[in-house]
Structure 1
Amino acid sequence: MENKRRLFLKNLGLAGAATTLMPSVFAKAPEQISYLERQYSASINLKTLKIALIGAGGMGSADTNTALEHKNIELVAVCDLYDGRLDDAKKRWGSDLYLTKNYKEVLKRSDIDAVIIGTPDFWHKKISVEALNAGKHVYCEKPMIHSIDEGQDIIKAWKKSGKIFMVGSQGMSSLGNEKAKELLAEGAIGELNYAEGFWARNSPIGAWQYPIPQDASRETVDWQEYISISKDRPFDPLRFFRWRNYLDYGTGMAGDLFVHLFSSLHFITNSIGPNKIAATGGLRYWEDGREVPDVLLGMFDYPDSEQHPPFNLSLRCNFVDGTSGSTYLKLVGSKGSMDVEWERVTLKRNAGGESDDPFFAEKAKEGSSRPDRKKMVSPLETVYTAQEGYKGAHYDHFANFFNAIRDNGSVAEDPVFGFRAAAPALLCNESYKKNGFIGWDPKNMKEV
């Protein structure tokens, strides 16, 4: 299936040949290469798959819209604890939908092949395990777990069920990640020694200040069901509609955003994770009663392994970015670096020029009898971009999920991979709370 779905450059001949050109060529604009296209050949088994959505908030609805872009996919049921979302589901996807506030009623239906779980994080594990036990294939939004001790429960239920389980970090299926993986394996940046990731937002909605419906009340929200696996509290619309701000229900910036960066990094490097974790940060702007930082910094040690040399990772997240927000993952090696985005990779290779730092320039003169030293040469830069018409990582992630169901295949992010991406993210919260380093055993997937 992988060969059918992807067309890559056969080699890095162009990038390799670039090193023989004169430096002046590279002082110009970076070379743009439209390098990839996706072959959207679906499984030959086009059996109609019937799906249900559990948790019809922003991400669950976006997932469902993307799933329905695929052929032979039928939405038959939607579950949510808020009346307004059920009403909206009927308007979006049809009046024939089965609507309920009880997810167990969805799992009992024999006509449902797979469920999309778009609930708040603290419900992921319970519904995932019950869905697998009920014989359903599962697409569960990241971070898959709300606490570290939930990971093995999902893995055991998945292995026992024989069903397909996909974790929803959509970047895992991106062309950018796939090209970066290829470039790293072919030595384009030399030996990896450092990586960094950055995720920033500047809008209130991006900072989890989600709108509160005017009709939010005990009459329209099943609050008792919502908190039935958490602490008993009086009805609070903020804790229901802005759940990411509270640790009883969400996993903070790390669980929401760092986990995407871990997923991409682990995919590109074939890593199983770090063994040392530390985090710091604070509540710098959104003083709205939230319990989690709006600025978070993480540091991670990746040990020497069969998959990669030892390297360090730093991650940053900022919820009040005055430059409109940005996201990237950078991998730095002995010969160059890569900026990795979902639809683009910018490869920079050392051109052998000298530093423009005045101190180093003076030191260089001391060690040379030549009166004139060559000037600094700009790095060799190549930008690889997805071809026009690319449908995106979100679409491809669901293509992988549906093809795996139809062909009894594998997915890009199963529960083992998902747990290894989620665990170091969630341990950032523990490090922040404890103000200290935390050890992690990535092979056996347990805290040290």
Structure 2
Amino acid sequence: MSQANHSDRRQFLKTGAIAAAGVAVPYYFAGANAQADEPKNESANDRLTIGCIGTGSRWGAVGPNAMKLGDVAIVCDVDANHAEQGRKRCEDANKQKGRERKVDVVEDYRKVLDRKDIDIVTIVTPDHWHSKIAIEAMKAGKDVYCEKPLTLTIDEGKKICKVAKETGRVFQVGTQQRSEMGQLFLKAVALINQGRIGDIQKIHVAIGGAPDSGPIPVAEVPKQLNWEMWLGQAPLVDYRFKGKGNGNSRCHYEFRWWYEYSGGKMTDWGAHHIDIAQWGLDQQNVGGPVSLEPIMVQFPTPFQDGMPTQDDRYNTATKFHVRAMYPGDIEVNIRDECNELGFGNGILFEGTKGRFMVNRGKLVGGPVEELKDNPLPADAIQKIYKGMTPASGNAHMANFFECVKLRKDPISDVYSHHRAMTTCHLANIALRLDRTVKWDEKSEQIVGDDDANRWLSREARKGYEVTA
């Protein structure tokens, strides 16, 4: 493609011309039976060019889903093995489409953002890298698909929302429950929207516990890994590894169990289920939490003043229970499991007219059974899906690509996700400090606790600051 043609296409997308009256969206977004796979009869000029930042295990799902709808030109990872595997997978996908295209490989994400031909980026890095890369990508004129949880702190979420508003970039967060999983969660939110359980009184959210590693010894950094850059904004520490395969480590998948890089299950699965719980509350204009009380917590290491006292093992909470109170005296219990209520993972909504439970495998309860005789209106899903219809396959990525072309916020926008992550981060602050925190949603400040307010942000290592 010539540079002139590419610039014309980018301008077309920027102006949102496809949103004009009478212009049809691509067939793979149109209607409930559409399949969001390889678009038919689409020219290369119509396809978005993708840069993939982070090509580890989770990218194994995100990357191929994006490649169904666009073409990857460059991959980036600080682990050379991951980068090479990503390159090969992308080039193989290009060949299968009948489009021979070399895919470049870089270690530094800034080289992806510098490329004028890149329309969108997928960010599938450890959590502590999400905000910095996403903010710089938006400022570089890229639309963004970023895996959850989007932020490490509440302050990062405020910065992302600010830049998204200023730049007008389209940004989809990878909370796929809003689009996929057999539309079980969409149906759950639609039930609330349609008043099928009356006014919400209580919600139980079970998100699973985290593992305990025991001591992990210092180990030699793998030759293919740029450990210093992997650490990014986090403190410079020794690489640790124990076991075989992925094993126990500070790196790759296991970063989830270190507060230096993530928030444990509270942000890993909370980003999914707490998001759905608050989406349900949003149907009744409830607003965010007003207080969060730690009922129970177990850490794999002793804590002092909110900080782990040992640095050689996982440190995120293994078991926990936080009671969050919302306006109208609505109680939301966030726990590792709710087995006494009949489920170990999922969300139980209780209202004045009934209750139901939803997770990735089922949607059950009286209001669900009543759908046989009183089904949801035909447009119930569209009403909560911002007037759009989820594609029957690859729906979350398809929604992102559709919104890039329409220049509108996708179903998992940064603003709703920031609000969900605010609850997750506040819950972790309450657990780590072992005290109730009171929250003012309007000012985005913890009330009457200066020490707790300091936890809304954190100092980044020099050279890796997250700035808006």
**Does TM, scored on the shorter chain, surpass 0.5?**
yes
1:230 Cα deviation (Å)?
1.9
Contact 1:146–1:251 under 8 Å retained in 2:
yes
Instruction: Report 1:212-231 matches (<5 A).
Output: 217-231=221-235
Question: TM-score, normalising length from structure 1?
Answer: 0.73
Give the 3-state SS of the residue equivalent to 2:317 in structure 1: coil
Judge which range, 275-284 or 73-82, deviates more: 275-284
Q: Hey, what does 2:207 align to over in structure 1?
A: 199
Distance in 1 (alpha carbons) for counterparts of 2:442 and 2:428: 21
Q: Hey, what does 2:160 align to over in structure 1?
A: 154
RMSD: 3.6
Distance in 2 (alpha carbons) for counterparts of 1:196 and 1:132: 36
Contact 1:230–1:248 under 8 Å retained in 2:
yes
Instruction: Report 1:252-271 matches (<5 A).
Output: 252-270=264-282, 271=286
Identity of aligned residues (%): 25
Q: What do the CA deviations read for 1:20-56 (whole angstroms, capped 9, x no partner)? A: xxxxxxxxxxxxxxxxx55447999962011121111
1:447 alignment partner AA: I
Matched, 1:183 2:191: yes
Q: Hey, what does 1:406 align to over in structure 2?
A: 405
Distance in 2 (alpha carbons) for counterparts of 1:216 and 1:171: 38
Judge which range, 48-57 or 263-272, deviates more: 263-272
1:185 Cα deviation (Å)?
2.5
Contact 2:200–2:349 under 8 Å retained in 1:
yes
Q: Hey, what does 2:179 align to over in structure 1?
A: 173
1:397 alignment partner AA: H
1:273 Cα deviation (Å)?
2.1
1:87 Cα deviation (Å)?
2.1
Q: Hey, what does 2:250 align to over in structure 1?
A: 239
2:122 alignment partner AA: I
1:172 Cα deviation (Å)?
1.6
1:183 Cα deviation (Å)?
1.6
Distance in 2 (alpha carbons) for counterparts of 1:327 and 1:186: 25
Q: Hey, what does 1:136 align to over in structure 2?
A: 142
Larger Rg: 1
Q: Hey, what does 1:121 align to over in structure 2?
A: 127
Relative to total residues, which structure has the larger strand share, 1 or 2?
A: 1
- The verdict on how the C-alpha distance between 1:440 and 1:394 changes in structure 2, with shifts beyond 3 A counting, is farther
Contact 1:218–1:235 under 8 Å retained in 2:
no
1:75 Cα deviation (Å)?
1.4
Give the 3-state SS of the residue equivalent to 2:237 in structure 1: coil
1:227 alignment partner AA: L
- The verdict on how the C-alpha distance between 1:327 and 1:281 changes in structure 2, with shifts beyond 3 A counting, is same
Give the 3-state SS of the residue equivalent to 2:405 in structure 1: helix
Distance in 2 (alpha carbons) for counterparts of 1:251 and 1:179: 29
Contact 1:54–1:80 under 8 Å retained in 2:
yes
1:187 Cα deviation (Å)?
2.2
- The verdict on how the C-alpha distance between 1:186 and 1:380 changes in structure 2, with shifts beyond 3 A counting, is closer
Distance in 1 (alpha carbons) for counterparts of 2:174 and 2:357: 22
Structure 1: any 5+ residue segments left out of the alignment? Answer: 8-36, 305-309, 351-378
2:317 alignment partner AA: P
1:432 alignment partner AA: L
4+ residue segments displaced more than 4 Å = 3-7, 37-46, 206-209, 379-385, 390-394
Structure 2: any 5+ residue segments left out of the alignment? Answer: 1-18, 20-24, 93-101, 242-248, 302-309, 377-388, 448-468
Contact 1:128–1:138 under 8 Å retained in 2:
yes
Judge which range, 268-277 or 152-161, deviates more: 268-277
Task: Report how many residues are paired.
Answer: 366
Q: Hey, what does 1:327 align to over in structure 2?
A: 345
Distance in 2 (alpha carbons) for counterparts of 1:441 and 1:40: 43
Match of 2:335 among 291, 299, 316: 316
Q: What do the CA deviations read for 1:253-290 (whole angstroms, capped 9, x no partner)? A: 111111211211222231542111123321479x9811
Matched, 1:282 2:298: yes
Contact 1:171–1:393 under 8 Å retained in 2:
no
Give the 3-state SS of the residue equivalent to 1:436 in structure 2: coil
Distance in 1 (alpha carbons) for counterparts of 2:361 and 2:298: 32
Give the 3-state SS of the residue equivalent to 1:158 in structure 2: helix
1:229 Cα deviation (Å)?
1.9
Q: What do the CA deviations read for 1:145-183 (whole angstroms, capped 9, x no partner)? A: 101111111111111111101111111224222222222
Contact 1:115–1:137 under 8 Å retained in 2:
yes
Give the 3-state SS of the residue equivalent to 1:106 in structure 2: helix
Distance in 2 (alpha carbons) for counterparts of 1:100 and 1:326: 42
Give the 3-state SS of the residue equivalent to 1:146 in structure 2: coil
Matched, 1:75 2:72: yes
Contact 1:272–1:443 under 8 Å retained in 2:
no
2:275 alignment partner AA: S
